[in-house]
Each structure stands twice: as C-alpha cells, then as structure tokens.
Amino acid sequence: MRFIADLHIHSKYSRATSRDMSPEVIWKWAQIKGIGVVGTGDFTHPGWLKELSEKLEPAGEGLFKLKKEHELNDVPDSCRTEVSFILSSEISSIYRKNGRTRKVHSLILVPGFSDAARINLALSRIGNLNADGRPILGLDALDLLKIVKEASPSAIFIPAHAWTPHFSVFGAASGFNSLEECFENYAPHIKAIETGLSSDPPMNWRVSALDTINLISNSDAHSPAKMGREANIFDTDMSYNSIASAIETRQGFLGTIEFFPEEGKYHYDGHRACGVSLSPEETIQNNYLCPKCGRRVTVGVLHRVEKLADRPSGYKPHNATPYFPLIPLTELIACTLGLGVTSKAVEMEYHRLIVTFGNEFSILMDAPITRNTQRNWGLIGEAIRRMRSGNINVSSGYDGQYGKINIFNAGDREEIKRQATLF
C-alpha cells in the first residue's frame, strides 16, 4: 500500500521542543498532514519510552498504534485515517577524530521496545539519557553504530540531515569528506542518508559516492505543525521489515517530499548577526570572512556540496528516485494573504481548507487545480499551481536563518482575483 512516512521528529522531552509533542497530538497532526507512519522520536529518553509503552500498542510487525482511550476527538472527518508509529531516536555524537572535533547526528529506527531498551542500556553506561530527548554523547559515531547493531541487528542507522554545517556527517564545520572516513569498515551498514532541509536530491546526485546510498527526507519536527515538511513515500506492506527493506534497497521506495532547499536555514553561506548572505563564489572571494565584521562566515550546504561534488550541477544518475518539492500549506496561505504564518487568519484558512478538501498532502500534491476550479480555491489555488510548476522565488537561507518564499506581488493578487470573477 502507498503511504507517506515522517521518520524523524522529536518529543516534548527534547530541548527547544513544543510541549504539545505528545503521542496524542502527534497522532492527531499525522492525520491532518496525511502521514501514515510517523517516528516516535526520542526513544532513548526513559520518560518518553515509558509514556510510549503505556500509550501505544502493537499494530502489526514492528509498528505501533495509539490506544483508543488516548485518541483525540478533534480530528476533522476529512482527515481521519490510520496512523502507525515506528520507534525512532536521534543521537548527538561529539568527539575528536583525525585531529578535529566532530559533531555528528544519527537517526535510529528499531522494530520494538525490547530493541530500544537494549540500546538504551548500553548508552546509559556512556552518558545521561535523562538530560535530553536527543542525548549528547562523547561517543564516536562509528562506535555508536557498532553498539546499535550489536543491540539490535535489525536497526536502521541513518546519518541525520547529512549536510548541516554544525551537526552532520558531511557538515562543513565538523563533518567528514566521506562515509568511509567517518564509519570506516562499518560504512557498508549505512544504506541511506537524510538530505536535510537545506539540500535536495539533485544536490546529492552530484556526489558519485552516494549513488548506492538511498536519499530519504524527514521533518525533524520540534512542533506538531512542522511535521511532514519533508517526508518519504512508500509502497510496501505496513510493517517495520518492509519499510526497512525499502530504505535499504529502494524497492517500494517511491521518493521523497522535499523543502525547496533554498528555504532551508543553511543553504547559503553567511553571517546572521550582520545580515550577510553569500553564495559559495562570494564566500571564496571574501576569503571566508564576513565583509562587514571580518569574522569567519558559516559555510552552508550548497558550498559543502560544491566542495565534495565530482559531477556538474544538473547531473542525474540512472537510478535516481523521484522527489517532490513542496511548500507547507501554512506558508502558501501566508503568501496569499500577505500575513505571517502564525497569524489567526492563516490558522482559520488552514482549518477551512483541510475540513473542505482533506489532509495537507492531498491538497498540496493531489487536488486538481484548474481555471474552472479557481473560484473555489481562490488565490491559494494559484499558489499551489505555481508551487507545483516551480514558478516561485526563494531568497536563500543562511547561518540559521530560513529562506523567504515569494509567490505573489501585490499586482499578482489583484489580477488573479479579477480573473477569478470571470469564471
């Protein structure tokens, strides 16, 4: 069966995460978004693992569902569907290797609570798992991989947001130049990497060493509304083993849902404190220094890809998996209204659309948007049409600052409204 999966989120036990990230609310928002399988996040945290064990029950091989007594009653009928959970966690490894400090984040998926418990027992001897839902361990990523595979041979180990400057396997600030440099003889265990918000498959295709590595995408959500901003599309049985096999072999893996990478907050180089955004070429011209204050800039994902690439921009491998760049619905609505994404008017329009037309992914990906339906959809219909065709403008994010989407100017809005009255 075809379903969308977001395998990397965080719970309320992680730092800088919404208190709403509970099993109940995650279940609710998975339906609103159109997510069929969602990672639990943070199974390494004892408090969260206990809560998960109390509120979830088996839903087939290696997957879980929310117990009926914990289900919320405010999911719109248009969005109601089955949601399965898969046990997941992210671990931050900070250590020295080859003369440099390394900071690598890893995503782990396991098929059951006993597997999670064995991993937690081993990691509890190394660091404090109670301190954060995403624990920080002074542990080589290679050693972490060894521990995970020994405790749970069926576990899936994925370098998280692989290109992010500060906390990733290829990051400019603390990463490596290859998977082999990081994981040594255990590199064959790495079957997939996570693209992250600031890169997309075409950027990764430029690195031939990744041809045998599946490219997956997840939201890394810290709040319910951010779930599904990146995700994966599967066509498999609803089971852990089928999902794991699809990740490892690409059989049954239909592609990824992606941010426009320019919108990611580390796409370009720059220095946020000075409001300086630089292309890789401009950074090199400035000797990697901020032209305003003279401090070293944060080297972004595009620059890092350029450095490791052995292929030109636009190259596409013969075995490339499809991808679908999307803009979150709240952002599209905000563009049509000329308001911020957190405004009450945007919230009300979002609710109206999902109640009327179904979950967010069905609206963004599947809803027919034609001139004949423009009257019903209004400006949001035109925004969706432009998004699907790639007819948008994005000012690139840099140094922790998200990029800015621009779909309409004031003249566009008035002209589209005028045309809509003609039908």
Got the DSSP string for 221-255?
A: BSSGGGTTSSEEEEES-SSHHHHHHHHHH-TTEEE
pLDDT of residue 377: 79
Same domain, 257 and 350: no
Same domain, 61 and 169: yes
pLDDT tens digits, residue range 116-153? 999 999 999 999 999 999 999 999 999 999 999 999 99
Distance of CA 84 to the CA centre of its chain: 18
pLDDT of residue 378: 79
Is the model's pTM score more than 0.85?
A: yes
Residue 422 has pLDDT above 80, yes or no: no
Q: Judge whether 12 lies within some domain.
A: yes
Same domain, 34 and 125: yes
Mean pLDDT computed over 394-416? 86
Q: How many helices (H) and strands (E) does the chain have?
A: 15, 17
- Residue 101: count other Cβ atoms within 10 Å of its Cβ: 10
Q: Judge whether 255 lies within some domain.
A: yes
CATH for 43: 3.20.20.140
Residue 233 has pLDDT above 60, yes or no: yes
**Among all chains, which residue has been given the structure tokens 């600030």?**
173
The model's confidence at residue 418, banded by pLDDT at 50, 70 and 90, is low
pLDDT tens digits, residue range 69-84? 999 999 999 999 999 9
As given in the structure block, the two tokens for residue 55 are: 């509120």
Same domain, 223 and 127: yes
pLDDT tens digits, residue range 260-309? 999 999 999 999 999 999 999 999 999 999 999 999 999 999 999 999 99
pLDDT of residue 130: 97
Q: Judge whether 317 lies within some domain.
A: no
Q: Judge whether 267 lies within some domain.
A: no
Q: Which helix (H) or strand (E) covers residue 208, if one does?
A: none
pLDDT tens digits, residue range 387-402? 999 999 999 999 999 9
As given in the structure block, the two tokens for residue 257 are: 């849902």
**Among all chains, which residue has been given the structure tokens 């027992």?**
121
Mean pLDDT computed over 331-359? 95
Number of separate domains in the chain: 2
Same domain, 76 and 182: yes
Please list the alpha-helical segments (H only) found in 23-126: 23-33, 46-55, 113-124
Q: Judge whether 302 lies within some domain.
A: no
Same domain, 234 and 353: no
Comparing 156-160, 166-170, 369-373, which segment has the lowest mean pLDDT? Answer: 369-373
Mean pLDDT computed over 377-390? 91
Same domain, 221 and 358: no
Q: Judge whether 387 lies within some domain.
A: yes
Q: Judge whether 70 lies within some domain.
A: yes
Same domain, 213 and 342: no
pLDDT of residue 73: 96
pLDDT of residue 416: 63
Whole-number average pLDDT of the chain: 95
**Domain end among 262, 285, 319:** 262
Same domain, 402 and 255: no
**Domain end among 262, 292, 311:** 262
Same domain, 239 and 336: no
Q: Judge whether 315 lies within some domain.
A: no
For residue 400, the enclosing domain spans 328-420
**Domain end among 262, 282, 315:** 262
